[in-house]
Amino acid sequence: MKTRILFHSMSLAVSSSPKKWMSNCVRVLNSFICYLVFIIFDLLDAVLCIIYRYLDERIEGVTSPCCCSKWERQEKKIMMNDEDDDLSDSLYERKSMFRKMGLLQFGRKREDSNGKCGGRKVNCWSDCGCESCLSWVNGSDDDYKLHFVVKEPLLATSENCRGDPYENVIFLHGFMCSSSFWTETVFPCFSENVNHNYRLIAIDLLGFGMSPKPRDCLYTLKDHVEMIEKSVLQPLHLGTFHLVAHSMGSVIALALAAKYHNCVKSITLVAPPYSSFEGNDACLNALEKFAGKKLWPMLSAGSSFMSWYEHLGRTVCLIYCRNHRIWERILKFFTRKRDLNFLITDMTRHTHQSAWRSMHNVICGGAKFMDSYLKILTKSGVRINVIQGDKDQVVPRECISKFKLKAPHAEINIIPNADHSTVLLGREKKFAQNLEHTWASC
């Protein structure tokens, strides 16, 4: 009997060993291919850095600053003149073999890299200069205001029929989107009660949609919050308001709510890119978390490519965003549609710098501030509602578990079979009902 049991155990070990060995081989092969591909990307980005430096100087007469050398970071700090460094470490500390070798210093001169336009065009030569993309240009820098859409209550008075003041709700979109993300999806799904008693405000964030995209801006959290204050809070005289935000907009919403914690009634975060990392490496850890170097799935591969390689990303914007009108005509021809889906058109409504710097200074740079924001909101008793899809490949579910630890009173709503986009898209009515319930309970 013992001999039979021993023989059976040996058979299982022999049969399982090849499977385990094959799995390890596949894992090693995948790691090697991934390493090789990203080494090639490192080299291409280094070469493109030199090429763009030459083209910028030839076309515009001055070299545009990039994040390939650390002395440029020091000049940015001097320009900001701020003790609290709002710049993300992920901008200048991203690991690159060729940066370590000093290849990126080849032929570099200490130009005036303070980012000011100083006689240059308001847009870079590699960005689109069509009338639509430059519709925000209206004079001096002090005149820049965010574009936003307001859905006023049906009764055109400052109070409803019961004499109660209207509620204000601010909607902030995510990365590479615009206010259309809300106006085309959720706004039409609200009930008559909301349409009569709430003023809905959907904002195009700084650098996206129809809002300003100044090339001298660093697109830090502070920049985004100040532009919302200047363009929306102050002109509309918002005393109290609710906040609703998706993805990158959630980080900005937390910063805004922490600053106006006595004015915010509730905050609803959809797929917030929360990172629990702290300390000096918080930004770099956030970059690894949300855009780590991966070749699969494709969404993760795209995020890695655009987040780690500044000049490769600029090339994509040069080919796609700068020529968006051509691509849109091609898509309209093949789809036989007069108007394209807003998700397609919003993909090109940004500049390379606005997307690149917002990704690093907001999503990655915000990692070192989020815990302090949550501490303020928890202490103030602001109602926090988090909605997350259980299939989200951009923001893992474990991030929300850690979010709950920092904000114990937050309500977490996990949506089954929903990813980073379908947590809202495809279930707009249910989402609108959830928002109405949150606002009514405040």
- Cite the active site residues: 173, 247, 392, 420
Distances (CA, A) of 309 to 1, 47, 350: 63, 11, 17
Q: Which of 141, 64, 77 is nearest to 108 (CA)?
A: 64
Pick left, alpha or beta for residue 95 (phi over 0 → left; psi -120 to 50 → alpha; otherwise beta): beta
As a whole number of angstroms, the distance between CA 129 and CA 175 comes to 21
In the chain, how long is the greatest CA-to-CA distance? 92
Nearest residue to 64 via CA among 105, 123, 106: 123
Alpha helices in 317-427 (DSSP H): 324-335, 342-346, 352-358, 370-380, 397-406
Q: Residue 409: what are its φ and ψ, rounded to 5°?
A: -85, -5
Helices (H) and strands (E) in the chain, counts: 17, 7
CB atoms within 10 A of CB 102: 9
**Contact yes or no for 247/386 (Cβ under 8 A):** no
Structure tokens at 231: 């363009």
Distances (CA, A) of 172 to 57, 263, 417, 418: 37, 17, 24, 20
Q: Compute CA 65 distance to the chain's CA centroid, rounded to the nearest angstrom.
A: 22
238 phi, psi to nearest 5 deg: -80, 110
